[in-house]
């Protein structure tokens, strides 16, 4: 039997339930993964919170988009994976589970130097960050403004930009500035006066901006500072972004499947050899999924939240 988390309705954490069901068998081009760790993401909350629709026909909804674990079985046509392989899978459907089926083409090898918790929380935010850095054309010598620099996507994006030899200015709450400095980022506080603060920090101008916060402030400041609107990328402002002519990424915008797929392996290798730091804030057993989501919703977690089935 497989233990998993499902949303029985649309709403708050009260709709989350632990259920038991027969362990599935992989079909053609699928693998069954014994889950060692499952990443918790805001996207999961949007699913059961109704942000992406409230179709009752879709209930109950299995939750969890990314996992790390061990291949337990392989379906027909799978040649690059074998039983016993340590892997990372994203995207999956129903990753909050002891076992999960995954399309084989979404599964990559887990580097030996990467822990289970770190591996499980890397791909969703990491590939989004890589897509944003790529879309904005970040390269050596650039000055890049990153809004939401201490968030899940932001912490990866600023590191990838630094690895490209860019100067990175990141917005965050004051309590997160020391962490950003450790990553080679010039921190500043969001809020009133942000435009003036960034101009002071970047007297020669800003070449590109990543909006990972989705606020009007982030977009307004980016538009005021970056001359080429195609070098402003957002993963969060789907309302104004298209109207302003900037790069809108993700569901509802440029999906960037090829970019994200290529980045999946690269960011795993960077994390394994220590060039990319993965911050795990807290781990919870699967049965404590409500507590994990309460921490996520509190916005007090700087790093990733992970479930350990």
User: Over the stretch 256-293, which tens digit does the pLDDT of each residue have?
Assistant: 889 999 999 999 999 999 999 999 999 999 999 999 99
| Percentage of the chain exceeding pLDDT 70 | 100
In the sheet that holds 208-211, the strands lie side by side as: 186-188, 167-171, 143-147, 208-211, 232-234, 247-248
Per-residue confidence band for 126, with pLDDT thresholds at 50, 70 and 90: very high
Taking the alpha carbons at both ends of the chain, their separation in whole angstroms is 13
**pLDDT per residue as tens digits for the range 212-230:** 999 999 999 999 999 999 9
- Cα–Cα nearest to 123, from 112, 114, 136: 114
Least confident of 88-97, 199-208, 218-227, 262-271: 262-271
Work out the percent of the chain whose per-residue pLDDT is above 90.
93
Residues in the chain: 309
Residues 234, 166, 121, 298, Cα dihedral to 10°: -60
Please give the C-alpha separations between residue 226 and each of 205, 218, 246, 305, in angstroms, as whole numbers.
8, 12, 11, 34
Question: Mean pLDDT, to the nearest integer, of 243-253?
Answer: 90
Tokens 């990175």 belong to 168
Q: Quick one: 114 and 15 in the same domain? A: yes
In a domain, 266, yes or no: no
- Answer yes or no: is 13 within a domain: yes
Q: Say if CB 149 and CB 211 are below 8 A apart.
A: no
pTM for this entry: 0.93
Tell me the residue range of the domain where 98 lies: 2-122+279-308
Q: Is 36 within 8 Å of 309 (Cβ atoms)?
A: yes
Q: Which stretches of 92-240 are DSSP H helices?
A: 116-120, 123-135, 152-163, 177-182, 194-201, 216-225
DSSP letter at 249? Answer: B
Give CA–CA dist 34/3, Å, rounded.
11
Question: How many domains in the chain?
Answer: 2
Q: Is residue 267 part of a domain?
A: no
Report the pLDDT value the prediction gives residue 250, as an integer from 0 to 100: 87
Whole-number pLDDT of residue 252:
73
Q: At residue 255, does pLDDT exceed 90? A: no
138 with 63, same domain?
no
Whether 146 maps to a domain, the answer reads yes
> Quick one: pLDDT at residue 221?
98
Statement: residue 187 has pLDDT above 90 = yes
Axis crossing angle, helix 152-163 with helix 123-135, rounded to the nearest 10 = 50
State residue 286's pLDDT score: 97
* 241, 291: one domain: no
CATH number of domain containing 98: 3.90.180.10
The yes-or-no verdict on residue 121 having pLDDT over 80 is yes
- Average of pLDDT values for 97-113? 96
Is the residue at 173 inside a domain?
A: yes
Instruction: Please check whether residues 141 and 103 belong to one and the same domain.
Output: no
Shared domain check, 298 and 200 = no
Q: Determine the Cα–Cα distance for residues 150 and 304; give it in Å rounded to an integer.
A: 11
Q: At which of 202, 232, 248 does a domain end?
A: 248
The residue among 248, 266, 288 that closes a domain is: 248
Q: What is the rounded CA–CA span in Å between residue 100 and residue 4?
A: 9
Q: What pLDDT digit, counting tens, does each position of 33-55 carry?
A: 999 999 999 999 999 999 989 99
* Residue 74 confidence (pLDDT): 98
pLDDT, residue 299, reads 79
pLDDT digits (tens, 9 = 90+) for 228-241: 999 999 999 999 99
Given a cut of 90, is residue 192 above it in pLDDT? yes
pLDDT at residue 251 greater than cutoff 80: no
Nearest-angstrom CA–CA distance, 104 and 77 = 9
Average pLDDT, the chain: 95
Please tell me the distance from the alpha carbon of residue 136 to that of residue 124, in angstroms, as a whole number. Answer: 19
Claim to verify: residue 145 and residue 94 sit in the same structural domain: no
């Amino acid at each position: 039997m497989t233990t998993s988390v499902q949303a029985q309705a649309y709403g708050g954490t009260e709709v989350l339930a632990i259920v038991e069901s027969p362990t599935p068998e992989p079909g053609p081009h699928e693998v069954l993964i014994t889950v060692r760790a499952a990443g918790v993401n805001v996207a999961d909350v949007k699913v059961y919170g109704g942000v992406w629709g409230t179709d009752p026909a879709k209930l109950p909804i299995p939750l969890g988009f990314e996992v790390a674990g061990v291949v337990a079985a392989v379906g027909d046509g799978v040649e690059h994976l074998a039983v016993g392989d340590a892997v990372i899978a994203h995207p999956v459907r129903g990753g909050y589970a002891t076992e999960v089926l995954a399309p084989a083409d979404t599964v990559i090898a887990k580097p030996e130097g990467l822990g289970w918790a770190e591996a499980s929380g890397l791909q969703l935010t990491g590939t989004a960050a890589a897509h944003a850095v790529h879309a904005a054309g970040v390269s050596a010598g650039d000055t890049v403004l990153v809004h939401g620099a201490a968030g899940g996507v932001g912490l990866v994006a600023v590191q990838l930009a630094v690895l490209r030899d860019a100067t990175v200015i990141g917005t965050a709450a004051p309590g997160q500035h020391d962490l950003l400095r450790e990553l080679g980022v010039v921190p500043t506080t969001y809020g009133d006066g942000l435009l003036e603060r960034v101009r002071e920090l970047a007297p020669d101008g800003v070449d590109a901006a990543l909006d990972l916060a989705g606020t009007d402030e982030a977009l307004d400041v980016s538009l005021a500072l970056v001359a080429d609107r195609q070098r402003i990328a957002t993963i969060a402002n789907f309302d104004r972004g298209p109207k302003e002519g900037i790069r809108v990424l993700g569901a509802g915008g440029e999906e960037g499947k090829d970019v994200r797929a290529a980045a999946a392996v690269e960011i795993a290798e960077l994390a394994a050899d220590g060039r990319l730091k993965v911050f795990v804030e807290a781990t919870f057993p699967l049965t404590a999924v409500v507590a994990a989501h309460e921490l996520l919703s509190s916005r007090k977690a700087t790093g990733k939240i992970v479930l350990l089935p």
